[in-house]
Amino acid sequence: MPRVSIVMPNYNGAQYIKESIDSVLNQTYKDYELIIIDDCSTDNSKEIINSFSDSRIIKIFSEKNRHVAYTANLGFKSAKGEYIARIDSDDVWENDKLEKQVKYMDENPECGACFTRVNIIDENSKKANEKYPDIDFLFNHEENKSSKEWIHYFFEKGNCLCNPSALIRTNILDKVGRNYNVACVPAQDFDMWVRLVIKAPIYILEERLTNYRWTNSEDKISGNDASSEIAFYNIHTLIRKNIFDYMTDQEFKEYFSDFFKNSNSSSKIELEIEKALILLRFSDISSMRWLALEKFEKLLKYPECVEVLETKYNFNLKEFYKLYRVSSFNDIAVLKTSSMLKEENMCLKNDIENYKLKLNEYSEELTKIVNSTSWKLTKPLRKVMSILSHK
């Protein structure tokens, strides 16, 4: 039985998949299986995958395209290792990545997952940290935290962990579900980190052992256009909605009691009220405000809840009704409009520059004509023609 199972989903990754597979086969740590799941590619990915004959490679070829989360889940299901690692078919590992991560996990059995710092690479496999400073900052700026601190960070800010850098302890993953939530693409990994950190601590190695490829290709599920912004907004809202459901009552009290309005909250209805109030606490994030409204709407179906809110939380119905006047579901349309305006402004700038270039060309041609001998000789004739045409 291999100690590490490496899951590599692929769809039309022929341009980079050989480089990714080679980076796995070149690992100094050798006790692993590499599970490649091709998601019904239409390029020559299958031929490239079949060109490798290493006995540690397990090849799965899907007959229907179902996207990355579903495809990766097939690999998770087949994994036999004590640890599971993830790599996409366009990313690249440093040779000693697995060796250093397995060593850390062996020495820290309480740890549920280990990540690494990241180098950004471009379409030519060149380091592009300066080219994409926002992505570089995202994966490399956050310090290690306790489970409680990570949960608060995820809840308030979102994800900053790089998926292909992960090495996960399989028995911990089994406790939270050895699968991505297929409804959460393109943030399916973030949903998994939320579930996992509730049950066990995680750790980031400070070395940049993972090379994460970032391009502006339209084929990437993550991008920076308007539709990608909307997708991440919606999925992060969904994950925030589920985060409390992933916890037992005891875990909720352990991780969020610092935010309780009533420190003595313990009954089921009191804890549900605390969840609604915590969502409301972060109402500057518009998605949180609507999640709070949804939670209150469910609670207020029970008449006894009104009295509990008034007596124990000093919260009355009038305050609840005010929430409807602050935000609307159309907030996301504002985000979309903002992104679209940026794109339109960029197009307008490009059009203006093109017009300037054409005007310069016309001006140069006109200057040549005016200064030419033929133009000077025909001046009297043009004057006569002008008079006649005017009449």
Give the residue, 346 or 125, on which the prediction is more confident: 125
Helix (H, G, I), strand (E, B) or coil at 77: helix
Buried b (16+ CB within 10 A) or exposed e, 89-123: bbbbbbeebbebbbeebeeeeebbbbbbbbbbbee
What's the confidence (pLDDT) of residue 220?
54
Give the residue, 369 or 162, on which the prediction is more confident: 162
Strand-strand pairing, 32-38 and 57-61? parallel
Q: How far apart are CA 289 and CA 284, in angstroms?
A: 7
Q: How far apart are CA 237 and CA 183, in angstroms?
A: 12
Q: What is the pLDDT of residues 23-74, one digit of tens each?
A: 999 999 999 999 999 999 999 999 999 999 999 999 999 999 999 999 999 9
Give the residue, 171 or 363, on which the prediction is more confident: 171
Q: How far apart are CA 363 and CA 168, in angstroms?
A: 66
- Of 7-16, 119-128, 335-344, 349-358, which gets the smallest average pLDDT? 335-344
DSSP 8-state assignment for residue 144: P
Q: How far is CA 261 from CA 14, 273, 277, in A?
A: 55, 9, 8
For residue 201, which of 139, 117, 113, 115 has the smallest C-alpha distance? 113
What phi-psi label fits residue 12: left (phi over 0), alpha (psi between -120 and 50 degrees) or beta?
left
Reply yes or no on whether the pLDDT at 161 is more than 60.
yes
Dihedral angle sign, alpha carbons of residues 304, 308, 311, 316: negative
Residue 385 CB-density burial (10 A; 0-12 exposed, 13-18 middle, 19+ buried): exposed
Over range 343-348, report the average pLDDT. 62
| DSSP-assigned states of every residue in 277-338 | HHHHHTTTSHHHHHHHHHHHHHHTTSHHHHHHHHHHH---HHHHHHGGGT--TTHHHHHHHH
Q: What is the pLDDT of residues 76-123, one digit of tens each?
A: 999 999 999 999 999 999 999 999 999 999 999 999 999 999 999 999
Over range 133-145, report the average pLDDT. 96
Q: What is the pLDDT of residues 307-329, one digit of tens each?
A: 999 999 999 888 888 877 776 65
Strand-strand pairing, 167-169 and 83-86? antiparallel
- Of 6-10, 128-132, 221-225, 292-296, which gets the smallest average pLDDT? 221-225
Q: How far apart are CA 107 and CA 110, in angstroms?
A: 9
What's the confidence (pLDDT) of residue 289?
82
Q: How far apart are CA 359 and CA 213, in angstroms?
A: 41
Measured between alpha carbons, how far apart are the two ends of the chain, in Å?
A: 99
Reply yes or no on whether the pLDDT at 372 is more than 90.
no
Helix (H, G, I), strand (E, B) or coil at 83: strand
What's the confidence (pLDDT) of residue 141?
95
Please report where in the chains the tokens 């996992």 appear, as a residue: 196
For residue 332, which of 245, 236, 242, 219 has the smallest C-alpha distance? 236
What's the confidence (pLDDT) of residue 236?
87
Average pLDDT, the chain: 88
Give the residue, 235 or 99, on which the prediction is more confident: 99
CA 57 to chain centre: 28
What's the confidence (pLDDT) of residue 385?
57
Give backbone dihedrals phi and psi of 300, rounded to 5 degrees, phi first: -75, -5
Contacts of 233 (CB under 8 A, 6+ apart): 287, 332, 335
Q: What is the pLDDT of residues 170-202, one digit of tens each?
A: 999 999 999 999 999 999 999 999 999 999 999
- Of 158-162, 244-248, 252-256, 283-287, which gets the smallest average pLDDT? 283-287
Reply yes or no on whether the pLDDT at 246 is more than 50.
yes
Reply yes or no on whether the pLDDT at 386 is more than 70.
no
Q: Where are the alpha helices (DSSP H) in the chain?
A: 17-25, 45-50, 67-78, 97-107, 133-140, 147-156, 170-176, 188-199, 226-243, 249-256, 268-281, 286-299, 303-313, 317-322, 331-370, 373-377, 379-390
Q: How confident is the model at residue 391 (pLDDT cuts 50, 70, 90)?
A: very low
Give the global pTM.
0.82
What's the confidence (pLDDT) of residue 200?
98
Give the residue, 300 or 357, on which the prediction is more confident: 300
Over range 208-224, report the average pLDDT. 74
Q: What is the pLDDT of residues 288-310, one digit of tens each?
A: 888 888 899 999 998 899 999 99
Contacts of 112 (CB under 8 A, 6+ apart): 168, 169, 172, 173, 196, 197, 199, 200, 201, 202
Longest dimension (CA), the chain: 102
Q: How confident is the model at residue 347 (pLDDT cuts 50, 70, 90)?
A: low
Q: How confident is the model at residue 362 (pLDDT cuts 50, 70, 90)?
A: confident
